[in-house]
Structure 1
Amino acid sequence: MSRFPHLPETFILREMLEMENLGWEIALYPLVVQKQPVSHPAVSKFEARAHRLPFISGTILFANFSELIRHPIRYFRIFGSIIHGNISSVKFLIRALAVFPKCVLMARLMKKEGIQHIHAHYATHPALAAWIIHQLTGIPYSVTAHAHDIYVEKPMLGTKLRDAAFIVAISQFNRDYITNYLGNSIREKIHVIHCGVNPDDYSIHQENTSDNVFHVLNIGSLQPYKGQKYLIRGCASLVKQGIPIHCTIIGGGELKDELAALISSLHLEKTVELAGARTQEEVAEMLPRADCYIQPSIITPSGKMEGIPVSLMEALVCKVPVIATNISGVPELVQDQKTGLLIPPENEEALVTAIQTIYNDRMKASEMAENGRQLVLREFSLISNVQKLASLIQESMTTPISN
């Protein structure tokens, strides 16, 4: 993975925990080990065993020198492939060159540790690290493709995915996207395995009778592609119409000050709350109290957008009515008028209309939420989806490892 711990990537933590429940032993090789002010309690289970490797050190230099002396042709072939494959993006090239020396040491450590399979989350630098280690050791690897890692910049994407033992796409949309980009020959290697939630971790939504306020919730890092500004503006329109709405936005990020300024300019200090980052347990406690969950995501000019936000799964498993924008794989979960309401991105008017629909027709909203819960139980179960991943990994390990 790119970073550990990383609060927005709770789905990776959940996957690792469930893999261990199935009897697998997990070794953790993040490219960056970081400290965060808020982290999930379960992180402590993996912190002690996360390999904390700097980008450069005496040990890393020695590992690279040793590899260069023992296998010079292989070393320069991999190094040359990295330069050639990332030359189209200065940002990717710099990061790839920074990651390469560390990966040489990772390869040595993985061989010593007896690692039999590498799984990389995201097709960017985590997949590059897995590819480098595979080239050095022969250990098979797989990649989960999520969203911006395949939608935006794509240096070496074909190489990283074609050489993988298998590819996991978190949506059918992603499978089609990769196939269209790389050709039909790769399609059979791609397996759709949704991210998932454990229903036992959540409570069912109960109608709020303590006040007359319509409680709206949004969860996500405060970044442009999350589209929270459209939700805030929508709240302003609803307040003008006399709807007693209160909106809580959970998450931290680069747009915190900008969104706070927008809230202030629209005089929504008592209506919209920026609640900051919260743990998984806090989110699970807050979700059932919401009357509606809203995911107003957009597609940025660079092409960055959501995959299928896990927060939508969390809301639906709580039987909370949802509204989301019709982008990427979201319609595979939020089926318009059946499991929730879909609206076009960057369309404040459509968002306001959708909120009014949920507010005015609670019976219809509850019916859609129940349908959504049943869909999550069938297709977005953490346990069954991790079992699918484990089966694919087990199959890949039957192939002999060559050095």
Structure 2
Amino acid sequence: MNILVISHMYPSDVNPVSGIFVYEQVMALRQQGCKVVVVSPVPFVPVFFELLNDKWKLIKNLPLKSNMNGVEIYRPRYFSLIKNLLFGFSGIFMFLAVKKIVLSISKIFDFDLIHAHTIIPDGYVAFKLSKYFDKPCVCTMHGSDINLYPGYGRISLAMTKKVIFGADQMISVSNFLKIKAEAIARPKNSIKVVYNGCDQKEFVFDLRSRILKRRELNIPVESRVLIFTGGLQKTKGIFELLGSFSSLFKQFSQAHLIIVGNGNDVKRVMKILSMEDMKNNVHLVGRQPYNKIPCFLSAGDIFVLPSYSEGLPVSVIEAMACSRPVIATRVGGIPEIVKDKETGMLVEPENVESLTKAILYLINNEQECAKMGSSGRKIVESGFSWEKSAERLTAVYADILKEAR
């Protein structure tokens, strides 16, 4: 099968971990025998934006065409709108930019179907392209496209409904998102759930990595260490985590917190840490190369993700693959993989007291931590690999192509 993937989320020099789950899925599809070409639209950067910071300059300098591990990637520029009442129009502007490049691609790559990631703007683009090229359209929803974007105004909601109703097949990364999407619009076919995965050979607990990473961060071997990986933004619960750790630190001065990631609220996080006694025990290491994440997870004892909303975060799957017990909020698809009191603990979002109580329980019960971590690894091994994800996807593709004949 020849698959054209549309995803604004895809690794690049600007952000090597952006849409890493899309990249991993593409690689797994190739292992299943699929040929894949990726179109990853990039915002158009006005000249004066380059003066604001280096990020915009890097975006502007991204090549229009490149090859990553055997996959051709096209990055057409489109006029991007901020995520407010006008966000719904982004799909229209993206389609106008993508259509031209896909016309060129179609002359050298006879794709069988189009697979978009996120409902808007990418799903809308795929929907329009499917009509133009008379090819089936598949769209995967990941989280924000259902949890947040429909609330950005009537246009965003209308676009979301159009894609859910019009796509030949909607795919969800969790049952939670499936149910929520079906409440917004009736899909053409029943929504399929295809879980994300992780590389279980790379994401595994490693004692040597644990020792070396703790030594590098100046964390004593006997310390109890929490770890967070993700975007540094309010909706990821980063401020609840800092508040909880501040309380925890007063009781356990040997406790440490590793924060891996970057985001819009990084300066606020740094400001909070500069005023707290715990600052020497909080290790803000920034965004890290993806292949280094298992080392950081191995260095930690407990993975914490107090998000306000989620689809089914890959970071949780990765932590469980590394045999780390998970403390996470009871939101989105998280309860579908984190079994309360079995593979970790579920807490309520925006609740520092509940979060602190769960952390204290696991810090005081090392044997329970080990048991939960082991159970989590078994769950990941049972059904959360990229190979299984690709197998399910190719089965979905085959069904859609059979219907289209």
Q: TM above 0.5, one fold?
A: yes
Q: Deviations over 1:189-228 (max 9, x none)?
A: 2111111012111222658796221111100011221111
Residue 398 of structure 1 and its aligned partner are, at CA, apart by: 3.0
In structure 2, the residue matched to 1:68 is none
In structure 1, the residue matched to 2:97 is 102
Q: Does 1:226 align with 2:239?
A: no
Q: Does 1:134 align with 2:130?
A: yes
In structure 1, the residue matched to 2:19 is 9
Residue 47 of structure 1 and its aligned partner are, at CA, apart by: 8.8
Q: Does 1:45 align with 2:41?
A: no
CA distance in 2, matches of 1:211, 1:285: 15
Which secondary structure does the structure 1 equivalent of 2:96 belong to? Answer: helix
Q: Contact 2:316–2:326 (CA<8 Å) still a contact in 1?
A: yes
CA distance in 2, matches of 1:54, 1:362: 51
CA distance in 1, matches of 2:398, 2:204: 34
Q: Quick one: which of 258, 263, 267 aligns to 1:248?
A: 258
Q: Contact 1:222–1:252 (CA<8 Å) still a contact in 2?
A: yes
Which secondary structure does the structure 1 equivalent of 2:78 belong to? Answer: coil
Q: List aligned pairs for 1:4-403, cutoff 5 A.
A: 4-5=10-11, 6=15, 7-32=17-42, 35=58, 45=68, 49-55=72-78, 89-93=85-89, 95-112=90-107, 113-154=109-150, 155=156, 156-183=159-186, 186=187, 188-204=189-205, 206=207, 211-298=221-308, 305-400=309-404
CA distance in 1, matches of 2:24, 2:347: 30
- Alignment: residue pair count: 356
Letter in 2 for 1:168: I
Q: Contact 1:229–1:259 (CA<8 Å) still a contact in 2?
A: yes
Which secondary structure does the structure 2 equivalent of 1:268 belong to? Answer: helix
Q: Deviations over 1:210-261 (max 9, x none)?
A: 6221111100011221111111111111111134111111111111100000
Which secondary structure does the structure 2 equivalent of 1:199 belong to? Answer: coil
- Structure 1 length-normalised TM: 0.82
Q: Contact 1:103–1:132 (CA<8 Å) still a contact in 2?
A: no
Q: Contact 1:205–1:320 (CA<8 Å) still a contact in 2?
A: no
Q: Contact 1:213–1:244 (CA<8 Å) still a contact in 2?
A: yes
Which secondary structure does the structure 2 equivalent of 1:26 belong to? Answer: strand
Residues 3 and 364 (structure 1 numbering): CA distance in 2 closer, same or farther, change over 3 Å?
Answer: closer
Letter in 1 for 2:104: L
Letter in 2 for 1:352: T
Which secondary structure does the structure 2 equivalent of 1:189 belong to? Answer: coil
Residue 367 of structure 1 and its aligned partner are, at CA, apart by: 1.2
Q: Larger radius of gyration, structure 1 or 2?
A: 1
CA distance in 1, matches of 2:188, 2:241: 37
Q: Contact 2:76–2:98 (CA<8 Å) still a contact in 1?
A: no
Q: Deviations over 1:147-204 (max 9, x none)?
A: 1101223331122122212111111101111122224xx3852111111012111222
- Structure 2 length-normalised TM: 0.82
Q: Out of 364-373 and 200-209, give the one that drifted further.
A: 200-209
In structure 1, the residue matched to 2:153 is none
Residues 55 and 179 (structure 1 numbering): CA distance in 2 closer, same or farther, change over 3 Å?
Answer: closer
- Which runs of 5 or more structure 2 residues have no equivalent in the other structure? 1-6, 44-55, 60-65, 151-155, 215-219
Q: Contact 2:236–2:306 (CA<8 Å) still a contact in 1?
A: yes
Q: Contact 2:116–2:122 (CA<8 Å) still a contact in 1?
A: yes
Residue 107 of structure 1 and its aligned partner are, at CA, apart by: 4.1
Which protein is richer in strand relative to its size? 2
Among all aligned residue pairs of Structure 1 and Structure 2, give the percentage whose two residues are the same amino acid: 23
Residue 110 of structure 1 and its aligned partner are, at CA, apart by: 4.1
CA distance in 2, matches of 1:343, 1:8: 27
In structure 2, the residue matched to 1:66 is none
Residues 47 and 219 (structure 1 numbering): CA distance in 2 closer, same or farther, change over 3 Å?
Answer: farther
